[in-house]
Structure 1
Amino acid sequence: MYYRFVPHWPYYSPYVEGEWLSWRSAVESDGVSRLPEQRLSFVLVHGSWADAHFWDGVAAVLRSQGHTVHAPEYAGHGTDPNKNVTHAMITKSVVDYIMRLNLRDIVLVGHSFGGTVIQKVAEQIPDRIKRLVFWDAFVLKDGGSLADELPPPTRQGFEQLRAGSKDDTILLPFPLFRDLFVNTATLEQAKHFYTSVRPEPAKPLFEKLDLKVFYTLPTPKSYVYFYQDNVLPQGEGFGWNPHMSSRLGVFRLIVGDGDHFTDTRTRPAMLARKLYEAGRD
């Protein structure tokens, strides 16, 4: 049975193309909002060069469909001026958020660098997590770092940008952001998206993580793979799927046609649907 969704107020988000995301964008293109088979509680963890507003459009869609959605901010991002943060501090931000709100039975989603965050969060509060969802996200080996997973030219570029900063951060140059993160966007869209990019604390990207506990957890896992995502090369020894995803053991695979960043702005309903498919029973 279908339910028509006709709201009467707008939703503001600085992260959505234009300035106003009408609640009507939270419905399907035929103007009908479909009641999901299952109501879920999502906790969405963003990646590098972003903050919690990254999820604004997707969260609006999921909420309009009856789901509960939380998008915690973590140390060194958003309005936090301190860029001297560690991976443990970032993880603690998310764990503390979940504990403070007493969230349970959650679908914990990590995007990009956020994959390494949800790996460590899962170690600390596994009893509160219904399923882990990695969307084009890093799944690190025990003892590895995100930097270990980058192709040599990218890692060398990051090291040079880090060395040239005054506060141990990395700011993506626009050409790199345009070709790797928003490769399906128009040039105008890419320039608009780039206005939200801020310097990223470098230290957590290079930290080696102890993930022995993570690899013992029986928590169900899903991987959402967008096949036009160009942040990692798709050749042998790199890439999101199957290179990263296969480390999860048994997992559910959901595939989409977007890139690393653009679709959160331009097609939030599509991304919301993929996260729902990844998170449902």
Structure 2
Amino acid sequence: MLLVFPYHSGNNQIPNPYYRSVPQGQYYNPYSESGWFGWHYPIESEGSFRHSQRLTFVLVHGSWADAHFWDGVAAVLRSQGNIVYTPEYAGHGTDPNKNVTHAMITKSVVDYIRHLNLFDFILVGHSFGGTVIQKVAEQVPDRIKRLVFWDAFVLKDGESVVDELPSQTRNGFEQLRAMSNDDTIMLPFDLFRVLFVNTATTEDAKLFYTSVAPEPAKPLFEKLDLKTFYALQTPKSYVYFYQDNVLPQGEGYGWNPHMSIRLGLFRLIVGDGDHFTDTRTRPAYLAQKIYDASRD
């Protein structure tokens, strides 16, 4: 038991295979032999999805997730005529190597964009993915139409992700990291349930947890040079879900306005979900919020 957390890990018997055996959506994975996977994802009918222009999206997931995190959202956006890419990055998905750096993760996404010769796209980052799109934008600014951060870290120059966490959470991560034999952090279910899927039913929370894999620790602790990012003139948006409980809502923490205000002039779109749940339970709702943040 980790006493630094105000949650009890309990006697968790939930199976955790680390990598889902039923992948969904379509994405290029540079770590697979073939590189491409094609799957179908059911789209729920949840109102009408409003759009007036067709856009190209590159969706970047966050920690304790892989590219399949976006399957439902990507399917909805594609069904409306948009083009959607969901790259996998180093240390995640089927990549067995967990000894990765933030630079390696960034290079994965940059290489993906250049490999497909993508231009004029919306680059979306969720959670830790916010730090990834910050660094990606530095390398391919001429290719990006707009940056969209969904409950994502917007680090200041010289910061790491853990610098933005309460000391109690940071200490817990350090303990979990020390307990691993491959420099990763695996979230206990009770912690994941309270922080990441607090609006989900117990059944949905358990289902989500089966796809959670140990997260490479090193990139979370690396301090990033972001001087180039803060000189960019790329249009930016922030999508904020106010039931997201990953960061404290109090002063000095949180997604909005603590993170979002760092973008300078930006578009703000607000929703009522949490950190993970809506990608599965309400993908059309989340897709609409991302689209609203991305359109001209």
TM-score in same-fold range (> 0.5): yes
Alignment of 1:158-237 (within 5 A): 158-237=173-252
Aligned residue in 2 for 1:7: none
Q: Which amino acid aligns with 1:187?
A: T
Cα-Cα RMSD: 1.7
Alignment of 1:109-120 (within 5 A): 109-120=124-135
1:98-152 deviation digits (Å, cap 9, x = unpaired): 0000000010000000000000000000000000000000000000000100011
Aligned residue in 1 for 2:264: 249
Structure 1 contact 221–250 (Cα < 8 Å) conserved: yes
1:35 deviates by: 6.2
Alignment of 1:1-281 (within 5 A): 14=23, 21-23=41-43, 25=44, 27-29=45-47, 34=49, 36-281=51-296
1:67 deviates by: 0.2
Q: Which amino acid aligns with 1:22?
A: P
- Secondary structure of the residue aligned to 1:22 is coil
Mapped partners of 2:242, 2:24: distance in 1? 23
Q: Which runs of 5+ in 1 are unaligned?
A: 1-11
1:14 deviates by: 4.5
Q: Which amino acid aligns with 2:162?
A: A
- Runs of 4+ that moved beyond 3 A: 12-16
1:45-101 deviation digits (Å, cap 9, x = unpaired): 000000000000000000000000000000000000000000000000000000000
- Secondary structure of the residue aligned to 1:219 is coil
1:28 deviates by: 3.9
Structure 1 contact 13–20 (Cα < 8 Å) conserved: no
Mapped partners of 2:49, 2:287: distance in 1? 12
Mapped partners of 1:280, 1:267: distance in 2? 20
- Secondary structure of the residue aligned to 1:161 is helix
Q: TM-score, normalised by structure 2?
A: 0.86
Going from structure 1 to structure 2, the CA distance change for 1:145 and 1:157 (only over 3 Å counts) comes to same
1:13 deviates by: 6.3
Mapped partners of 1:175, 1:28: distance in 2? 30
Going from structure 1 to structure 2, the CA distance change for 1:58 and 1:34 (only over 3 Å counts) comes to closer
Aligned residue in 2 for 1:6: none
1:188 deviates by: 1.0
The count of aligned residue pairs is 263
Structure 1 contact 181–231 (Cα < 8 Å) conserved: yes
Q: What is the percentage of aligned positions where both structures have the same residue? A: 80
Q: TM-score, normalised by structure 1?
A: 0.91
